[in-house]
Amino acid sequence: MKNKNDWLLPVGLLVLTILPLLGSADRLLQLWRGAVTAENARFFAFSGSTIAHIVSSNVFSILGALQFSGGIRRKIPGYHRQVGRVLTVCGLVAGSTGVWMTLFYPRAMGDDVLLFWFRLVFSILMIVATTQGYLAIRRRDIVQHRVWMMRGYAICIGSGTQAVVHFPWLLVAGKPDEFARALLLGAGWAINLGIAEWIIRRHTPSRPKPKATPGPSPVPK
pLDDT of 4: 60
pLDDT digits (tens, 9 = 90+) for 119-161: 999 999 999 999 999 999 999 999 999 999 999 999 999 999 9
Tell me the whole-structure pTM to 2 decimals: 0.86
pLDDT cut 70: percent of the chain above it: 90
Tell me how far apart the terminal alpha carbons of the chain are, to the nearest angstrom. Answer: 69
Residue ranges of the chain with per-residue pLDDT less than 50: 1, 215, 217-221
**pLDDT score at 177:** 92
* DSSP, res 205: P
User: How much is the pLDDT for 211?
Assistant: 55
List, as one string, the DSSP characters of 134-157.
HHHHHTT-HHHHHHHHHHHHHHHT
